[in-house]
Amino acid sequence: MTQASVAEVVGALRHRYLRARRGDKTLILNESVALTEYRRKAAFCVLRIGRRPQVSDRPGRVWKVARADRQSSGLTVVG
């Protein structure tokens, strides 16, 4: 199944999932696992939270090895 078709299926199931009661949510979750071949927890997260963007504009932590720490192989956080 392509990513576009998975997104389409998840979009349709998500609408139903968010409005369903607990017993129905189990059935919808089982259906989504069978259709998308996601693991159960991943399917749960996608149905409940939605897909998150892959790229973040936020920079990550910068790690730098200080000269004194090279001998002990320690890392120092810069910034």
Query: How confident is the model over 23-50, as pLDDT tens digits?
Result: 999 999 999 999 999 999 999 999 998 7
Residue range 73-79: mean pLDDT, rounded: 57
Note the helical H segments in 20-66.
22-36, 40-48
Task: Tell me, rounded to whole angstroms, the distance of Cα 73 from its chain centroid.
Answer: 33
> What pLDDT score was predicted for residue 77?
57
Highest mean pLDDT among 1-5, 48-52, 66-70: 1-5
- The percent of residues above 70 in pLDDT, for the chain, comes to 71
Give the predicted TM-score (pTM) of the model. Answer: 0.61
Q: How many CB atoms lie within 10 A of CB 47?
A: 22
> What pLDDT score was predicted for residue 54?
62
Closest CA to 17 of 51, 46, 39: 46
